[in-house]
Amino acid sequence: MNKTLLKILMFGLLILFILSPFAALASLMFVLLVGAFFFLLGDVFQAIIGGDTGPKESQE
């Protein structure tokens, strides 16, 4: 669940960067926004289904 919350926070910050008045690379940031949206959507969907959303740990 922490991974999902972190991605939601990062997605919100990405939207703030795009909407800032000094965004020089706004068109590139829109491409990043689309990619981030799909990653966020996948994580939220996985959290709703009940899959493992925690960080991956090495199994030794």
Q: What tens digit of pLDDT does each residue of 27-58 get? A: 777 777 788 888 888 888 888 887 665 666 65
pLDDT of residue 13: 80
Q: Does 6 map to a domain?
A: yes
The answer to whether the Cα torsion of 20, 45, 43, 3 is positive or negative is positive
Q: Does 59 map to a domain?
A: no
Pull the structure tokens for residue 53: 């959303």
DSSP state of 25: T
- Other Cβ atoms within 10 Å of 43 Cβ, number: 20
Q: Does 8 map to a domain?
A: yes
Residue 26 domain boundaries: 2-49
Domain count, the chain: 1
Q: Does 60 map to a domain?
A: no
pTM for this one? 0.50
Q: How confident is the model at residue 6 (pLDDT cuts 50, 70, 90)?
A: confident
- Is 32 within 8 Å of 17 (Cβ atoms)? no
Alpha-carbon span 11 to 8, nearest angstrom: 5
